[in-house]
Amino acid sequence: MTVCIAAVCNIILDRPRCVITAADRMITMGDIEYEPAQTKSVFFATNTVGLFAGDMQLHAAVVPKVQKRIEDALHADPGNINVLEIAEFYAEEFAYYRRSLAEREILVPRGLSFDRFLARQSTMAHWQVNDLDIRLASFYIDSTAIIAGVDPTGAHIYKIYNPGVSMCFDTPFFVCRCW
């Protein structure tokens, strides 16, 4: 079972809120599961952490790209990045990874790329275009990330999930991913 959870808390009344997070250590990559001596969390920036569940191949590919984007953003404007920006970076990189994997699994075996598929649609059978479109749209990666942290606007929690969507959980003050 994988567990990742984040909650916004108010330890002392009339004080700023904080975020508490927890993650287990079970790593899944395809059919392989193991439990290394580390949690499935990464510090992205001051007061912001990412928690990961699901197929770790996605996270292993996405985390370095998000870290690079954060580094570039901080280089352009030192000390000025918020939790929402980091969540959006993660969601975008999740979507790029999903698109690349869908292209490799669905289109490449048919001698196509996304560009070739779009260019050749008018010469392909309608049922074939429809079938490929449905398969691409429904391509699913069972991975989730939780981005949680505190910035000048307060404490925030975001959940990133297939197909690369970032959803804010500031109102319920918690989010989890268990399975």
pLDDT at site 58: 92
pLDDT tens digits, one per residue of 15-45: 788 898 988 888 776 777 778 777 788 999 8
* pTM higher than the cut 0.75: yes
Contact 23, 38 (CB under 8 A): no
Backbone dihedral angles phi then psi of residue 28, each to the nearest 5 degrees: -120, 130
Average pLDDT, the chain: 90
Closest to 45 in 3D by CA, of 9, 10, 74: 74
pLDDT at site 173: 86
And the tokens for 24?
């287990």
- What residues does each domain of the chain span? 3-178
Listed in order, strand segments (DSSP E) in 24-151 are 27-29, 32-34, 41-45, 48-54, 143-151
How far, in Å, CA of 169 to CA of 87, rounded? 12
How far, in Å, CA of 65 to CA of 54, rounded? 18
pLDDT at site 1: 56
Q: Which residue has the higher pLDDT, 1 or 169?
A: 169
Write the class of the CATH domain 3-178: alpha beta
